[in-house]
């Protein structure tokens, strides 16, 4: 059974994807010059799910990803330095 579930909508029929505790899940929504990537994973150290949002350089990829924020399943914001090891 899937642990994570994602839906994306756009110009066509909505699409869904699933992820598991050991694979996580992520998606990149982007324009040409800017975008965001959302990534979810299960943190084995805390036993909690965590989601992080990154700013990206969009389709042209001119800039590196920048971590915006992370949140746990308890709706707690996580200090950026606590998640720098994470690269989904």
pLDDT, averaged per 10 consecutive residues of the chain (88 residues), comes to 94 95 95 95 90 92 88 80 52
Asked if 66 and 52 count as a contact pair (C-beta separation under 8 A), the reply is: no
Residue 30 lies in a domain: yes
- C-alpha distances in angstroms, 81 versus 16, 34, 36, 39, 69? 31, 24, 20, 17, 11
Range of the domain at 48: 21-79
Whether the full predicted model's pTM is greater than 0.85, yes or no, is: no
Residue 13 lies in a domain: no
pLDDT at position 62 is 83
Residue 50 lies in a domain: yes
Residue 71 lies in a domain: yes
Q: How many domains does the chain have?
A: 1
Residue with tokens 């994470």: 86
pLDDT at position 30 is 94
pLDDT at position 87 is 46
| Angstrom distance (rounded) from CA 79 to CA 83 | 7
pLDDT at position 81 is 57
Residue 59 lies in a domain: yes
Residue 34 lies in a domain: yes
């Amino acid at each position: 059974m899937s642990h994570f579930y994602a839906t994306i909508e756009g110009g066509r029929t909505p699409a869904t994807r699933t992820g598991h505790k050991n694979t996580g899940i992520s998606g990149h929504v982007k324009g040409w010059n800017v975008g965001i990537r959302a990534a979810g994973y299960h943190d084995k150290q805390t036993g909690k799910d965590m989601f992080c949002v990154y700013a990206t350089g969009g389709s042209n990829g001119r800039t590196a990803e920048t971590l915006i924020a992370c949140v746990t399943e308890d709706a707690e914001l996580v200090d950026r330095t606590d998640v720098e090891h994470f690269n989904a």
